[in-house]
Amino acid sequence: MNDVNQRLARLARTMNERPELEGGSGVDEIVQVSARVVPGAQHAGFTIVEEGRTITTIASSHRFSVRLDEISQYLLQGPCLDWGRDNRDVVVVDDMATDTRWPAYRSAVLAETPVGSLLSLETFTAVGLYGTLNVIAEQANAFDGESIAVGMSCAACAAYEWARLFGSRPQAAFFSSLARQEIAELAKGMLMERHRIDADAASRLLGFAPQAVHSCNVCDGSWP
């Protein structure tokens, strides 16, 4: 896990130092990193779902991610739609060949791609809109608890970057503040464990002011 920790900590620091990334470059970077650092992963994609049925691929490391979203859009079936309906943090497909939850989706995926297993991880949720980080392997049973834990960390990074793309929207600003806090705490914990240093020292290594790590805007529950 040391290499994974280093990559995620470095990514968190990069995000903090580049507050004005343009376009989707930050999200694309996180997707590429996710495909490399999540144990068992080979590909990844970041997907936005609007009103529970309009699916948009924002970034992908491979065409398989795009094709899975296209299949879900056409059939209105699949993990990214299931997550929104059931409000779960993660939807796991251990073996695409034997999964029975979405028969038409499964058949299409098996016919058109070599995808064997998949994680669909929460990134953010808002009124009528949510995002998922989808992590893909061509082998069945490729993911375990460690995969989910690392994937959730990557999903938090993706949430933060997506929020920064729409920072003028009040709900996006709220998600950005939550994600910034989560990423800072994640990276701090990694450095504290690896280097046996205290929280303030870890904050300084990451380039965060210690007090900033603990600050977070409070949502008042009012949405536009």
pLDDT in tens, 8-37: 655 655 555 555 444 456 788 889 889 988
Let me know if residue 191 belongs to a domain: no
pTM: 0.70
pLDDT at 177 over 80: no
Label residue 55 by pLDDT band (50, 70, 90).
very high
Domain membership of residue 161 as a residue range: 2-167
Let me know if residue 125 belongs to a domain: yes
d(Cα 133, Cα 27) in Å, to the nearest integer?
A: 10
pLDDT at 62 over 80: yes
Which helix (DSSP H) or strand (DSSP E) does residue 56 occupy? strand 54-60
To the nearest 10°, report the CA torsion of 13, 17, 21, 25.
Answer: -20
Residue-wise pLDDT for 90-103, tens only, equals 899 999 999 999 99
Let me know if residue 177 belongs to a domain: no
pLDDT average, residue stretch 48-77: 92
From residue 42, give the alpha-carbon distance in Å to each of 35, 143, 195: 5, 11, 30
Q: Could you tell me which residue, 6 or 128, shows the higher pLDDT? A: 128
Let me know if residue 178 belongs to a domain: no
Longest dimension (CA), the chain: 52
To the nearest 10°, report the CA torsion of 153, 34, 115, 47.
Answer: 70
Let me know if residue 44 belongs to a domain: yes
Let me know if residue 215 belongs to a domain: no
Let me know if residue 25 belongs to a domain: yes
- SS3 of 105-142: the string is HHHHHHHHCCCCEEEEEEEEEECCEEEEEEEEECCCCC
**What is the domain-level CATH number for residue 150?**
3.30.450.40
Q: Tell me how many domains the chain contains.
A: 1
pLDDT at 71 over 50: yes
What tokens were used for 8? 């995620």
d(Cα 173, Cα 189) in Å, to the nearest integer?
A: 24
- Chain mean pLDDT for the chain: 74
Let me know if residue 202 belongs to a domain: no
